[in-house]
Amino acid sequence: MEGIMEYQLDINGSTILADVAPGRKNRAKVALGEKAYTLEYHRISDTRIQLRVNGRQINAWVTPAAGGKTIILNGRHFFVGDHNAQDTGKPKPSGDGEVPAVVTPPMPAIVIQMPVSEGDRVVQGDTVAVVSAMKMETSLKAPHTGIVTCISAAEGDKVMPGDILVDIEKETEGESA
């Protein structure tokens, strides 16, 4: 069939082949292995997409992560990397240790803990904020080693995807405290 785009995706560590046939007006037909889906999608914001999959409505939250994107569907987190995307030279995450490029919540949430202060040195992967959404706690990790230069949220604040909660000045190679 003409117009089909083929992707090789890494979803939570498993490689999946996806055939996507774009349609009109934000519609597409997608085949993941032997399963076929009809999609209708509407971008609500930079991080939220409203989907209708085989007639069922689903909200998706999408945030950038090193080597791909973190996608949250019905409270379940998926890391998706595209083997077809150009290599940016950045290391690709593996397993459950994905660390997003910025400290932002994956969905609307309430800040329940800020375990760091301005001036603190953090190591890539350290928890720098904890948020709660849909009765689930999510630890937000430092995207790189460095010094916390600004904290933009406090416990109890309502935050949205894209809100930068903690700014961390990246430590240059050879520099350490």
Residue-wise pLDDT for 141-168, tens only, equals 998 899 998 898 999 999 887 788 998 8
Handedness of CA 102, 46, 81, 35 (dihedral sign): positive
Q: 109-170 domain in CATH 2.40.50.100?
A: yes
pLDDT in tens, 6-21: 888 888 888 888 888 8
- Options 3.30.700.30, 3.40.50.620, 3.90.1170.50, 3.90.550.10; CATH of 5-82: 3.30.700.30
Closest CA to 48 of 133, 103, 107: 107
In angstroms, what is the C-alpha Rg of the chain? 18
- The pTM (predicted TM-score) of the whole model is 0.49
pLDDT digits (tens, 9 = 90+) for 62-106: 887 767 788 888 778 888 886 665 444 333 343 344 455 578 887
pLDDT of residue 88: 41
**What pLDDT is recorded for position 40?**
92
